[in-house]
């Protein structure tokens, strides 16, 4: 009887240790991005770069204007950043085209901002590749 209790206690201790180890690995691993095939777990670094200058344009409708700044989260890749630098005028033009097609109602509120971020993200991904552009952040937006 004493031997069975010892075996059960040892198994419970092992299971508890494994659960703690898995929990630690999940918490520590959640701060990095994994890219590639399953099992490769290649960790990559990202960088957030501001778009050059403020975006200012008129919105459709009642003589309203939008002013905003955006930041682009990308892979920390020297070649990608150089391409982004070279093609910045093209990217700015496409973002301004997106903004010019919006009404005040389209960009107002949290949902409008989120929708606008998604549309600009799709624009940047079409220019620079889906895997290179992680996210777009609008850090300042004014509608007059």
Query: Mind listing the pLDDT tens digit for each residue in 95-111?
Result: 999 999 999 999 999 99
Beta bridge partner(s), residue 109: none
Dist CA 140 CA 54 (whole Å): 9
Quick one: what percent of the chain has pLDDT higher than 70?
72
Q: Which pLDDT value is given to residue 26?
A: 62
Distinct helix (H) and strand (E) counts, the chain: 5, 6
Three-state DSSP at 127 gives helix
pLDDT, one tens digit per residue, over 2-22 is: 666 667 766 666 666 555 655
């Amino acid at each position: 009887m004493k031997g069975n209790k010892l075996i059960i206690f040892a198994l419970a201790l092992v299971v508890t240790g494994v659960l703690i180890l898995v929990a630690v690995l999940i918490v520590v691993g959640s701060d990095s991005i994994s890219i590639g095939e399953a099992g490769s777990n290649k960790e990559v670094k990202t960088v957030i770069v501001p778009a050059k200058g403020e975006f200012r344009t008129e919105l459709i409708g009642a003589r309203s204007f939008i002013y905003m700044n955006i930041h682009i989260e990308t892979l920390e890749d020297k070649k990608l950043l150089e391409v982004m630098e070279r093609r910045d005028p093209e990217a700015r033009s496409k973002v301004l085209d997106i903004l010019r097609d919006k009404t005040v109602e389209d960009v107002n509120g949290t949902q409008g901002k989120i929708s606008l971020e998604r549309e600009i993200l799709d624009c940047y991904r079409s220019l620079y590749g889906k895997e290179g552009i992680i996210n777009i952040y609008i850090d300042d937006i004014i509608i007059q």
